[in-house]
């Protein structure tokens, strides 16, 4: 027997209920930001310093609105007052990435 799951019940539900179920399913995929320990923060600092000094391409994994995102480019500058990296991505746009949201920085060959 082939069951259609939620599709067969959609005609019996109010549109508001369908919307709430979709939002609930989307919230299930959300993740929380992990806190980094001092050793990982030191590794991030060393990697970022090397990338800025030699102009190397990096891939930064950062937390943004309930999920992790990745950004590839070169680190142009670190703003100590705002505590954020200013990066130039592959398309040439300047992107701002706050330090407290960064999870990982990797060099790209």
Domains and CATH numbers, the chain: 38-107 (2.30.30.520)
The pair of three-digit structure tokens given for residue 39, joined into one six-digit string: 């050793």
Q: What is the pLDDT of residue 5?
A: 63
Please state whether the predicted TM-score (pTM) of the whole model is above 0.75: no
What is the SS3 assignment for the chain? CCCCHHHHHHHHCCHHHHHHHHHHHHHCCCCCCCCCCHHHHHHHHHHHHHHHHHCCEEEEEEEECCEEEEEEEEEEEEECCCCEEEEEECCCCEEEEEHHHEEEEEECC
User: How do residues 28-57 score in pLDDT, each as one tens digit?
Assistant: 777 777 888 889 889 988 999 999 999 999
Whole-angstrom Cα distance, residue 59 to residue 104?
8
């Amino acid at each position: 027997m082939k069951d259609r799951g939620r599709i067969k019940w959609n005609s019996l539900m109010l549109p508001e209920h369908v919307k709430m179920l979709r939002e609930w399913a989307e919230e299930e995929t959300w993740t929380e930001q992990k806190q980094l320990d001092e050793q990982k923060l030191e590794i991030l600092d060393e990697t970022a310093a090397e990338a800025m000094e030699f102009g190397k391409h990096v891939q930064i994994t950062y937390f943004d609105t309930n999920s992790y995102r990745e950004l590839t480019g070169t680190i142009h500058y670190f703003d100590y007052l705002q505590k954020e990296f200013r990066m130039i991505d592959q398309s040439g746009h300047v992107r701002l990435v706050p330090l407290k949201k960064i999870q990982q920085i990797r060099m790209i060959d």
